[in-house]
Amino acid sequence: ALGIKEALGAKIPAAIADVKAVREAYGDEQLGTCTVTQAYGGMRSVKAMTYETSLLDAEEGIRFRGLTLPECQAQLPRAAGGAEPLPEGIFWLLLTGDVPTDAQVHALREEFASRSTLPAEAVAVIDALPTDMHPMTQLNAGVLALQPQSAMAAAYAKGVHKSTYWEYCLDDALTLLAQLPEVAARIYRRSFHDGSMTPSAAGELDMGANYARMMGFEDPKFDELMRLYLTIHADHEGGNVSAHAVRLVGSALSDPFLSFSGGLAGLAGPLHGLANQEVLRWLMEMKESLGTTKMTKEALTGLVWDVLNAGKVVPGFGHAVLRKTDPRYTCQREFALKHMPDDEMFRMVSMLYEVVPAVLTEQGKVKNPYPNVDAHSGVLLRHYGLTEARYYTVMFGVSRAIGTLASLVWDRALGLPIERPKSVTTGWIKAHFEGK
């Protein structure tokens, strides 16, 4: 069968058996520890959850179902003449664990197309929002406006058996993924243009090209950039704010629309997804203050120190898990070297790559002085004319739906329970250790 539901359904019994066997064999083993420092410190590196769709190595970076980003680029179906994975293929890979065939990706595109018409009520909600409201707030409102369609909420209300929750969760994931690009494009058009929009060509175009067209971009290279963008932002294991928020909210059996809304709220924070907006804002500020003639490494070094001395973070650098340059940064750099080597802003990003790690290392506070995904994405979008930085995190959000929703379906398939870690007070800690 070509369908994604059948492909997934065929995998679930063995995965449930696998988890059962692992729990029987290792259920009482220590996976990790949690010190008092970690409890106060954002639970950094505490191994306390499982997440099947991707795994992040501190040195090597992300793997989607075991594949590095270059392996995804080499192995997943692409558009005719293109070099980047089709977003539909990434979803298939993350959900089923298998590299899909061209025919499977095509069938999934048709599936999305059949679900892509936005409900009129949701369009009315989006169109009623102030156009100067932050695009991430608009996106979240748009996602909540799609929620009345939830098959999962309806099925729960009807009282279906819990072993079937994954089917309704998948149903919602497919609907949300089918509709999200149009919601996002609509927000772009109404916030930064006159609100008019090229109608969706879902079914004819892949998700990346269709999203680009609805936003008003025609360049086939921008389509490729969209495919790359939707690939690299899709998933980053389970503990990052957006993925963990989706998992956490979903664990209460809130439906996928509500769960994804929680994830988007976290993605809108400047230490997470909003960093891509902050990077571009900072680059523009530096460009304005230095111009092209004074754009030297020495001058940039001074400006990086100014940021640190003002008690702010250097956006686009550092990571809670990674300890090397983010491969999501590297593949965007390669895209730039191939398609826009002479772009002035790209040259600035390259110069910062040479300057910032040294400054952060000299300051001696950060655990990772290297760039992350957000240090690069803005200049690529800007090169093709998408200059509105306030919008950038919305595109991150569209991509993040691919990974977090694939994972959410597995949460329900594996019957993961409600999340409820134990918290303690500072007084409890003192009494506990002093009394020891």
Smaller CB distance to ligand FCX: residue 97 or 316? 316
- Which of 146, 155, 180, 314 lies at the binding interface for ligand FCX (CB under 6 A)? 314
Nearest residue to 344 via CA among 298, 277, 283, 301: 283
Q: Which residue in the list 134, 233, 236, 319 is annotated as catalytic? A: 319
Applying CB under 6 A, does 403 fall inside the site for ligand FCX?
A: no
**CB-CB contact of 315 with 270 (8 Å):** yes
The helix/strand/coil state of 77 is: coil
Q: How many CB atoms lie within 10 A of CB 79?
A: 17
CA distance 230 to 61: 17
327-366 footprint of ligand FCX as x/- string (CB under 6 A): --------------------------------------xx
Q: Which is nearer to ligand FCX, 82 or 318 (CB)?
A: 318
Question: Rounded to the nearest 5 degrees, what angle is found at the Cα of 114, between the Cα atoms of 108 and 117?
Answer: 130
Report whether 63 contacts 55 (CB < 8 A).
Answer: yes
Which are the contacts of 181, defined by CB distance < 8 A and separation ≥ 6?
A: 200, 207, 210, 211, 214, 398
Neighbour count for residue 349 (Cβ, 10 Å): 22
Q: Least CB distance from residue 360 to ligand FCX, whole Å?
A: 6
Contacting ligand FCX within 227-256 (CB under 6 A): 240
Active site residue 272: yes
Name the amino acid, one letter, at 225. Answer: L
| Residue 56, beta-bridge partner list | 62
- 117: number of Cβ within 10 Å: 13
Question: At 277, which helix (H) or strand (E)?
Answer: helix 275-290
Of 135, 208, 318, 403, the one binding ligand FCX by CB under 6 A: 318
Residues numbered 370-389 forming contacts with ligand FCX, rule: CB under 6 A: 372-374
Q: Does the annotation mark 343 as catalytic?
A: no
Nearer to ligand FCX, 197 or 308 (CB): 308
* Residue 316 in contact with ligand FCX, rule: CB under 6 A: yes
Instruction: Please choose, out of 48-56, 315-323, 336-344, 417-425, the segment that lies near ligand FCX by the rule CB under 6 A.
Output: 315-323
Run of H or E including 54: strand 54-57
Cβ distance to ligand FCX smaller for residue 162 or 312: 312
Binding residue (CB under 6 A) for ligand FCX from 320, 394, 395, 413: 320
Packing angle of the helix pair 220-232, 207-215 (nearest 10 deg): 120
**Strand, helix or coil at 62?**
strand
For the CB of residue 273, give the shortest distance to ligand FCX in the complex, in Å. 5
Q: Name the catalytic one among 206, 223, 235, 374.
A: 374
Nearest residue to ligand FCX on Cβ basis: 318
**In this structure, how many other beta carbons lie within 10 angstroms of the beta carbon of residue 376?**
27
Residues 43-102 close enough to bind ligand FCX by CB under 6 A: 44
| CB nearer ligand FCX, residue 268 or residue 336 | 268
Beta-carbon contacts of 293 under 8 Å, excluding residues fewer than 6 positions away, are none
* Per rule CB under 6 A, count of chain residues that contact ligand FCX: 22
Q: Is 315 in the site for ligand FCX (CB under 6 A)?
A: yes
Task: Note if 374 is an active site residue.
Answer: yes
Helix 165-192 to helix 207-215 angle (10° resolution) is: 30
Q: Which of 85, 100, 239, 273 binds ligand FCX (CB under 6 A)?
A: 273
Q: Which residue ranges make up the site for ligand FCX (CB under 6 A)?
A: 44, 240, 271-273, 275, 308, 313-320, 365-368, 372-374
Kindly list the catalytic residues: 272, 319, 374
